[in-house]
């Protein structure tokens, strides 16, 4: 068993318009890196479409229908949710593949067909709340994957999402907040979009763990956030399944944020998270791509992350 890479060509058809940071070229460059010789041993498959029932694990029917109804009739047209969350003709299919990939990844891990999974999909998901698209996100991919694991597999009593994207995953937090069997931990720059994720936001049963990092924070502060807070909280929660919201915009070269991480820090945090998963849940991990807006830094960071998953 090895790492399974899930993606789908439809994720390259979610057009966000010219000069948008969440661009098609992000995923195109990531996939080019993952085509290199060193990734020869990856298993590869296409991300299936999410079912309506999977979307409804986190979102009400009327919201799902409103997103579908906002898809423009013609290619080249756009509808904007909040000024930067753009819907084009390809958005619906891409969003379904992004949710479907995480759920299928959970199935493949649970059925021992893959050791762990990386979903190279877009749009990202962690800003999407129960009934609110925002921050380039429509459906809460990682949250739905974790809920799917609990809903479908009796041996999964508790599922966790750990999010090292530089932005707080307000959507995942909102969806998990009142569910003691779902855990969400995030390290993020503060202040920064979306201005949520205070350390005082702890969920109904200490099932939320936020660590705020000041702009300019370096690897030392990032690693301390995990060693002192997130990893102990995750071990205490003792998940039966771990989903990683893998955003790479805490990289020093990222244009949308101001942390100073490098590729090695993403390797380190991936190793640490896989260690906890090995201790708690037989290494069951599905990682899903969130942000990362310097295309080259994103692609090399994803490559390093996936290589680490392959060694886990």
With respect to Zn ion, which residue has the nearer C-beta, 8 or 167?
Answer: 167
Nearest partner of 167 among 195, 140, 139, 144, judged by Cα:
195
With respect to Zn ion, which residue has the nearer C-beta, 170 or 308?
Answer: 170
Does 167 participate in catalysis according to the annotation? no
Q: How far is the CB of 94 from Zn ion (least distance, A)?
A: 18
Write the binding mask 231 to 270 for Zn ion: x where contact by CB under 5 A, - elsewhere.
Answer: ----------------x-x---------------------
Question: Among 107, 108, 163, 165, which residue sits at the site for Zn ion (rule: CB under 5 A)?
Answer: 165
With respect to Zn ion, which residue has the nearer C-beta, 125 or 247?
Answer: 247
Helix, strand, coil percent content, the chain, rounded in steps of 5: 40, 15, 45
Q: How far is the CB of 174 from Zn ion (least distance, A)?
A: 16
Q: How far is the CB of 188 from Zn ion (least distance, A)?
A: 8
DSSP character for 106? H
With respect to Zn ion, which residue has the nearer C-beta, 108 or 249?
Answer: 249
Q: How far is the CB of 100 from Zn ion (least distance, A)?
A: 22
From the candidates 126, 127, 251, 305, give the one annotated as an active-site residue.
127
Contact call for residues 246 and 289 (beta carbons, < 8 A): yes
For residue 40, give Cα distances in angstroms to 33, 62, 219: 11, 43, 31
Report 273-292 residues binding Zn ion (CB under 5 A). 291
Write the binding mask 122 to 161 for Zn ion: x where contact by CB under 5 A, - elsewhere.
Answer: ----------------------------------------
* Torsion sign across C-alpha atoms 143, 144, 145, 150: positive
Long-range pairs for 252-256 at CB < 8 Å and ≥24 separation?
252/297, 253/294, 253/296, 253/297, 254/166, 254/292, 254/293, 254/294, 254/297, 255/21, 255/293, 255/294, 256/21, 256/166, 256/291, 256/293
Catalytic residue list: 127
Kindly list the residues in this chain that would bind Zn ion in the complex (CB under 5 A).
Answer: 165, 167, 247, 249, 291
């Amino acid at each position: 068993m090895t790492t399974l890479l899930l993606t789908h060509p439809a994720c390259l058809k979610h057009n966000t318009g010219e000069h948008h940071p969440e661009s098609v070229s992000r995923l195109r460059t990531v996939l080019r890196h993952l085509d290199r010789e060193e990734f020869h041993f990856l298993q590869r498959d296409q991300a299936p479409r999410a079912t309506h029932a999977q979307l409804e694990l986190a979102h009400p029917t009327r919201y799902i229908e409103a997103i579908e109804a906002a898809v423009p009739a013609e290619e080249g047209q756009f509808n904007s949710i909040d000024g930067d969350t753009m819907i084009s003709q390809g958005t619906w299919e891409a969003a379904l593949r992004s949710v479907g990939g995480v759920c299928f990844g959970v199935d493949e891990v649970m059925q021992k067909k893959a050791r762990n999974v990386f979903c190279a999909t877009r749009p990202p998901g962690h800003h999407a709340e129960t009934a609110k698209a925002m921050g380039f996100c429509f459906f809460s991919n990682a949250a739905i994957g974790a809920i799917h694991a609990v809903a479908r597999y009796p041996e999964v009593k508790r599922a966790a999402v750990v999010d090292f994207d530089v932005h707080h995953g307000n959507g995942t937090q909102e969806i998990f907040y009142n569910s003691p069997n779902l855990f969400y931990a995030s390290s993020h720059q503060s202040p920064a979009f979306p201005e949520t994720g205070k350390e005082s936001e702890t969920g109904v049963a200490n099932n939320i763990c936020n660590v705020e990092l000041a702009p300019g924070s370096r690897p030392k502060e990032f690693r301390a956030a995990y060693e002192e807070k997130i990893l102990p909280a995750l071990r205490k929660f003792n998940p039966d399944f771990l989903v990683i919201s893998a955003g790479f915009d805490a990289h020093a070269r990222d244009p949308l944020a101001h942390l100073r991480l490098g590729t090695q820090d993403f390797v380190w945090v991936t190793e640490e998270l896989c260690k906890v998963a090995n201790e708690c849940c037989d290494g069951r991990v599905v990682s899903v791509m969130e942000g990362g807006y310097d295309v080259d830094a994103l692609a090399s960071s994803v490559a390093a992350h996936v290589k680490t998953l392959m060694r886990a």
